[in-house]
């Protein structure tokens, strides 16, 4: 059925209908070629709602909702996929729903992450589907101080992102000390400390003090290294990555480029209240918390900001993405049974919230 054969009465004043009619008026497009969950006869069997309105609901659910997706604790944990992750990604791909993986891990490149997902069993995902805190740091510096130089404490993903933005490494008089994930040495920490004392600004790719690796193991994060330099130098770091608004601003821009237009609705999916959910909330996005990672259901109520929905895994979203019918928030199994996520005491994330009020006091040299 061609676009000009659709019933138009009563729809011309509806902006959603206008957008749709412009979309399908192309003579080469017919209804069966668009990413609908069912065949045309099934859609036409809804006389109570009317063909066009039914069609509008489905098309705009697929084409105008985009997803920002955390990785560790949402898609995989260590080298194992979380149940339902494959079905979730396949549903996004089959429906043409735009998505972008958003991670605070600055160590890998987008190409590294694409290969990792392929080995784990997720196909059809490319480097363009990833936005890391390393890319975010490189974007930030190239926009705010494009002629700067940096001394880097980090790994290949951060070095590659800075190189791509033509930001030079400098071991003599850098403008910034940039801290990411990865092992370092006391020698390099001492050099970073010296550069900061000489006036270099301290920039961290993310505020994570530690990151979960498995249900029984964690690893140090960029926030821990930045905290070391804050304590030694008395200077505050500026933390990029989630939940910083600049990370979400850039991620939405990249998501729009993938979708060829700006989605009407963007959802952040993550497993961490302090970064994923807080960042989504402050960016004005819907936020879905999954209990397959580092947050337990009984701890959610401790936070002032709350997720839009709580799910056990992202697999619960696969069916509604396929059908275009969102489920009721209270249908989530999260409200019927507790999660099995790991609990760890201690502050997980650094914060620069006090940086604008007073400098961090430098500890005494001796006890």
Let me know if 57 is a catalytic residue.
no
Q: Report residue 360's pLDDT band, with 50, 70 and 90 as the boundaries.
A: low
Share of the chain above pLDDT 70, in %: 71
Which pLDDT tens digit goes with each residue over 306-326? 999 999 999 999 999 988 776
Q: What is the mean pLDDT of the segment spanning 257-267?
A: 89
pLDDT at 283 over 70: yes
Contacts of 20 (CB under 8 A, 6+ apart): 52, 55, 56, 59, 60
Q: Identify which has the larger pLDDT, 366 or 252.
A: 252
pLDDT at 351 over 90: no
Do the beta carbons of residue 106 and residue 155 sit within 8 Å?
yes
CA-to-CA distance for 62 and 51, rounded, in angstroms? 17
What is the predicted pLDDT for the residue at 215? 67
CA-to-CA distance for 170 and 189, rounded, in angstroms? 15
What is the predicted pLDDT for the residue at 183? 87
Share of the chain above pLDDT 90, in %: 63
What is the predicted pLDDT for the residue at 335? 54
Which pLDDT tens digit goes with each residue over 83-134? 999 999 999 999 999 999 999 999 999 999 999 999 999 999 999 999 999 9
Which pLDDT tens digit goes with each residue over 132-170? 999 999 999 999 999 999 999 999 999 999 999 999 999
Among 46-60, 135-149, 339-353, which range has the highest average pLDDT?
135-149
What is the predicted pLDDT for the residue at 62? 40
Domains of the chain: 17-25+37-63 (no CATH), 66-358 (3.40.50.1000)
What is the predicted pLDDT for the residue at 32? 39
Q: What is the mean pLDDT of the segment spanning 52-72?
A: 63
CA-to-CA distance for 71 and 130, rounded, in angstroms? 10
pLDDT at 214 over 90: no
What is the predicted pLDDT for the residue at 150? 98
What is the predicted pLDDT for the residue at 122? 97
Catalytic entry in 13, 26, 72, 271? 72
Catalytic entry in 48, 70, 170, 271? 70
Q: Report residue 8's pLDDT band, with 50, 70 and 90 as the boundaries.
A: very low
pTM of the model: 0.77
Q: What is the mean pLDDT of the segment spanning 73-82?
A: 93
């Amino acid at each position: 059925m061609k676009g000009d054969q659709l019933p138009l009465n009563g729809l011309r004043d509806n902006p959603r209908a206008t957008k749709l009619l412009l979309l399908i008026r192309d003579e080469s497009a017919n209804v069966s070629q668009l990413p609908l969950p069912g065949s045309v006869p099934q859609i036409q069997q809804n006389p109570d709602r009317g063909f066009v309105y039914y069609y509008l609901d489905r098309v705009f659910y697929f084409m105008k909702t985009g997803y920002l997706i955390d990785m560790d604790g949402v898609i995989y944990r260590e080298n194992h996929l979380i149940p339902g992750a494959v079905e979730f990604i396949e549903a996004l791909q089959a429906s043409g729903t735009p998505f972008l993986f958003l991670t605070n891990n600055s160590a890998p490149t987008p190409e590294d992450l694409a290969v990792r997902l392929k080995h784990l069993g997720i196909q059809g995902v490319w480097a363009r589907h990833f936005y890391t805190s390393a890319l975010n740091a490189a974007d930030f510096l190239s926009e705010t101080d494009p002629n700067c130089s940096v001394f880097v404490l980090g790994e290949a993903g951060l070095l590659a992102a800075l190189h791509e933005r033509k930001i030079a490494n400098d071991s003599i008089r850098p403008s910034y000390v940039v801290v990411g994930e990865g092992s370092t040495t006391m020698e390099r920490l001492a050099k970073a400390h010296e550069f900061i004392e000489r006036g270099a600004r301290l920039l961290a790719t993310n505020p994570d003090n530690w990151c979960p690796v498995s249900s029984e193991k964690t690893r140090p994060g960029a926030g821990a290294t930045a905290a070391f330099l804050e304590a030694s130098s008395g200077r505050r770091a500026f933390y990029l990555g989630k939940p910083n608004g600049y990370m979400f601003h850039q991620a939405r821009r990249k998501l729009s480029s993938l979708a060829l237009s700006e989605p009407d609705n963007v959802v952040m999916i993550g497993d961490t209240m302090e970064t994923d959910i807080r960042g989504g909330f402050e960016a004005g996005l819907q936020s879905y918390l999954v209990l397959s990672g580092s947050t337990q259901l009984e701890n959610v109520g401790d936070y002032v900001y709350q997720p839009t929905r709580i799910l056990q895994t992202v697999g619960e979203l696969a069916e509604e993405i396929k059908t275009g019918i969102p489920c009721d928030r209270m249908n989530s199994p999260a409200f019927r049974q507790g999660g099995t996520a790991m609990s760890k005491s201690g502050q997980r994330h650094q914060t620069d919230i006090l940086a604008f009020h007073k400098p961090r006091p430098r500890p005494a040299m001796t006890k």
